[in-house]
Amino acid sequence: MQTLEVGLDNYFSIKFENDKFIFLDQTKLPLTEIYVETDYYERIAEAIERLEVRGAPQIGITAAYAMALSIKNVPQKLFQEKFDAAYKRLARTRPTAVNLFFALNEVKNEFEKFKHEKNLYAILLNKAKEIHRNDVEYCERIGENGSKIFNRKSNVLTHCNTGRLATGGDGTAFNVIKTAHSKGLVNFVYADETRPLLQGSRLTAFELEKNKIPFAIQTDSMAAVLMQQGKVDLVITGADRIALNGDTANKIGTYNLAVLCNFHNVPFYIAAPTTTIDRSLASGSGIIIEYRNKKEILNFNGHQIAPENYETFSPAFDVTPSHLITGIITEESVNFFPYNFI
Ligand code: MRU
User: What's the CATH number where 168 sits?
Assistant: 3.40.50.10470
Instruction: Lowest mean pLDDT of 31-35, 44-48, 146-150, name the range.
Output: 31-35
Q: Is the CB of 166 under 6 A from ligand 1?
A: yes
Is 303 inside a domain boundary? Answer: yes
pLDDT at 305 over 90: yes
User: Could you tell me if 20 and 59 lie in one domain?
Assistant: yes
Is 342 inside a domain boundary? Answer: no
CA distance 250 to 23: 23
User: Could you tell me if 176 and 104 lie in one domain?
Assistant: no
Instruction: Lowest mean pLDDT of 8-17, 210-219, 315-324, name the range.
Output: 8-17
pLDDT tens profile 7-39: 445 789 999 999 999 999 999 999 999 999 999
- What pLDDT is stored for residue 8 in this prediction? 46
Compute, in angstroms, the gap from residue 112 CA to the centroid of ligand 1. 30
Q: Is the CB of 241 under 6 A from ligand 1?
A: no
Residue finishing a domain among 121, 139, 157? 139
Does 240 qualify as catalytic in the annotation? yes
Q: Is the CB of 240 under 6 A from ligand 1?
A: yes
Average pLDDT for 270-278: 98
Ligand 1 site-directed mutation target among 101, 165, 199, 235, most atoms within 8 Å of CB? 199
User: Could you tell me if 130 and 200 lie in one domain?
Assistant: no
pTM of the full predicted structure?
Answer: 0.96
Q: What is the CATH number of the domain that holds 105?
A: 1.20.120.420
Ligand 1 site-directed mutation target among 136, 142, 251, most atoms within 8 Å of CB? 251
Which residue minimizes the CA distance to atom 8 of ligand 1? 251
pLDDT at 107 over 50: yes
pLDDT tens profile 244-253: 999 999 999 9
End-to-end CA distance of the chain: 44
Q: Percent of the chain having pLDDT more than 90?
A: 96
Average pLDDT for 231-239: 98
Average pLDDT for 158-170: 98
- What pLDDT is stored for residue 202 in this prediction? 97
User: Could you tell me if 182 and 288 lie in one domain?
Assistant: yes
- What pLDDT is stored for residue 9 in this prediction? 55
Average pLDDT for 118-123: 97
Compute, in angstroms, the gap from residue 295 CA to the centroid of ligand 1. 20
Q: Report which ligand 1 atom has the smallest distance to the Cα of 290.
A: 1
- What pLDDT is stored for residue 2 in this prediction? 47
Is 92 inside a domain boundary? Answer: yes
User: Could you tell me if 91 and 149 lie in one domain?
Assistant: no
Average pLDDT of the chain, as a whole number: 96
CA distance 47 to 59: 10
Task: Give the residue numbers spanning the domain of 259.
Answer: 142-336
pLDDT at 3 over 70: no
Q: Percent of the chain having pLDDT more than 70?
A: 97
pLDDT at 164 over 60: yes
Compute, in angstroms, the gap from residue 81 CA to the centroid of ligand 1. 31
